[in-house]
Structure 1
Amino acid sequence: KFQKARTTFFSKEASALLRPKLKTLSDNDLVFGSNDNVLLAEQNSGQILRRCIIKLGLDMKTSRTELNLINTHAFRAYGITKLSRHDPNFARRLAGQKGYLDQYDRLSDDEKLALYQKYEYELMIDESKKDKARIEKLESEKDFRINRLEQTILDMQDNLKRLNPKS
């Protein structure tokens, strides 16, 4: 946007679909834009999305205004909303909305990536991938808890041996 390079995070789900396209582009090619003119590129992306939505039978309108329910802004709003429920400052930062406290809240790219990965499962669209991510997270939490319980049992056994040396 505005000929300015920026770091952008993509979910694993989106990355799998983007990699083949990125391999065909050179460094200065537009990834999503179809025209160097920002207005024309925005119009083109909206039209492409509209055609795909119609083909999929998802052409829904709002009841009062007859505006398209699924549009490019809806994807952005969805992501910001989901991330805001966990970390509102991080969500605004990813959306490019700067606040006056940004100067005090400096995150490195690695810290931003770690935060993004922590909440990435919220941004997935494919329910089976969401479920898989939830399962992986729950398994990780389960393993952590089991390890902690095993350590507690060992500590208790050591304490018991010290209190009752004859056994």
Structure 2
Amino acid sequence: MSYIENKITIEEYLNSVQDKGKKNHIGSILNQFNIFCKQKYNKSSQQIMDDLYNEVKETGVKDKIYIMFNHFKDWLLIDHPEITYVIGVKKNIERTIEAKHPNSIRTYIKVIRGIIEEIGNLEINNRILLKRVKIPKGEKDEPEPFTKEQMRLLLDRCSSKTRLKYMVMKDTGCRTSELVQMRKSDVDTSKVRISIKIQARYEKTRRASTRFITKETEPMFRRLLKHKKENELLFGSNEDKYIAKTSEKVLFSHYRKELSKDYPEFEKIYQGNGRHVKTLHSIRSFTTTQCARAIDESWGHGYTGHKKYLDQYIRDKEDYLERFLRSESHLMVYETIEVIDSDERVAKLEFEQKQTKENMITLLQVMDQIKDIKKDNENKNKQIKELQMILKSK
């Protein structure tokens, strides 16, 4: 049945990917792989994959696949200032290809391996691949959350519209992809604190969850709601979440650059991977850290939607809100409120109840005494009247 192809092209494979974010991610890696193939072998990535397929089909030997991956790994480990490309809507921003972090290289190898296996129906042995293609271990940098002082510096520098976005992010610990998909219909203003339902389709974990707005954010948030239709996006600039997410990253980069002129720590980068220390994810880390300080680490991760911890908190809605209220003061950067632990509050209520009970007993005792005095007075008045009657009769 030669008329039925047993392999597909790279383009056909890419078109079969439904998720736009995943498709863009794979497309970006394929673009780098294509540049590598042209520079190293003077052939396109499609030609290289076709040649590898034919080689294995004719000889049954896969050595050249592992050799190619080793070449690709070595190519990714170094800068390529001689290779330039343009980005941006107007294609007016020029970039050069820089060395990739070992973790990124592992991702690149994994994606290209998957494509080769998929389009050529070839199985690549994982043990041999790991043995033949040795990727150096990368330095691991700990994510650095915003401090309260840094959070305030960022908020003060932003426009009022952006400030509200970042305040909602630090209140809820939401991901950028979740923020840009929030709609007015997800908001509930009927409770003691405004809540936002993060729909399962917004969530990376595909689990719906509830987050809350602090008292300091509430006035600005209510004003926003007044100008939104029921199913309108609250913060997203585009119905396409990937376009909206990219816009938010660009906007944050702008504010980070502005802040770094006065506060150099905002321009700090990790030595291990060359990435900025302060990113939009640092706001989410701020939420996790502050909630952990208020209660404990599992609550910090659970509230921000980490799957491992989420289940233990979503069942009891009252306890969930109670924990947020205890965390609220830690999350606020402009205001502070007195937070009383539930045990302390119960003890205070019990003491007040005891005092009230004692006061009631005292009051009843006084009432009884008054009643006795009145009764005694009535008896004395009766005796006086009787004496007066006796005197009149004489």
2:307 partner SS: coil
Q: TM-score, normalised by structure 1?
A: 0.64
Return closer, same or farther for 1:29/1:101 CA change in 2, 3 Å cut-off.
closer
The residue correspondences of 1:72-151 to structure 2 (distance < 5 A) are: 72-85=280-293, 86-99=295-308, 102=311, 106-108=315-317, 110-126=318-334, 129-130=335-336, 133=337, 136-137=338-339, 148=351
Determine whether 1:68 maps to 2:276. Answer: yes
Identity of aligned residues (%): 26
Q: Which residue of 2 aligns with 1:163?
A: none
Return closer, same or farther for 1:105/1:75 CA change in 2, 3 Å cut-off.
closer
Query: Once superposed, what is the RMSD of the aligned Cα atoms?
Result: 3.6
1:30 partner SS: coil
Q: 1:16-73: CA deviations, max 9, x gaps?
A: 2222222211122222221122221111112223333444545432363553343211
Return closer, same or farther for 1:48/1:19 CA change in 2, 3 Å cut-off.
farther
2:315 partner SS: coil
Report the Cα distance in structure 2 between the residues aligned to 1:78 and 1:3, rounded to whole angstroms: 21
* Among candidates 208, 230, 233, match of residue 30 of structure 1: 233
Return closer, same or farther for 1:101/1:80 CA change in 2, 3 Å cut-off.
closer
Gaps of 5+ in 1: 155-167
Give the number of equivalent residue pairs. Answer: 143
Q: 1:66-90: CA deviations, max 9, x gaps?
A: 5334321111011012212313333
The code of the aligned residue for 1:94 comes to Y
Report the Cα distance in structure 2 between the residues aligned to 1:104 and 1:113, rounded to whole angstroms: 10
Which stretch of structure 1 is more off in the superposition, 117-126 or 62-71?
Answer: 62-71
Report the Cα distance in structure 2 between the residues aligned to 1:29 and 1:18, rounded to whole angstroms: 14
> Which structure would you say has the larger RCO, counting Cα contacts within 8 Å and 6 or more residues apart?
1
Gaps of 5+ in 2: 1-177, 179-200, 359-394
Report the Cα distance in structure 1 between the residues aligned to 2:290 and 2:282, rounded to whole angstroms: 12
1:7 partner SS: strand
Report the Cα distance in structure 2 between the residues aligned to 1:104 and 1:119, rounded to whole angstroms: 14
Contact 2:302 2:310 survives alignment (8 Å): no
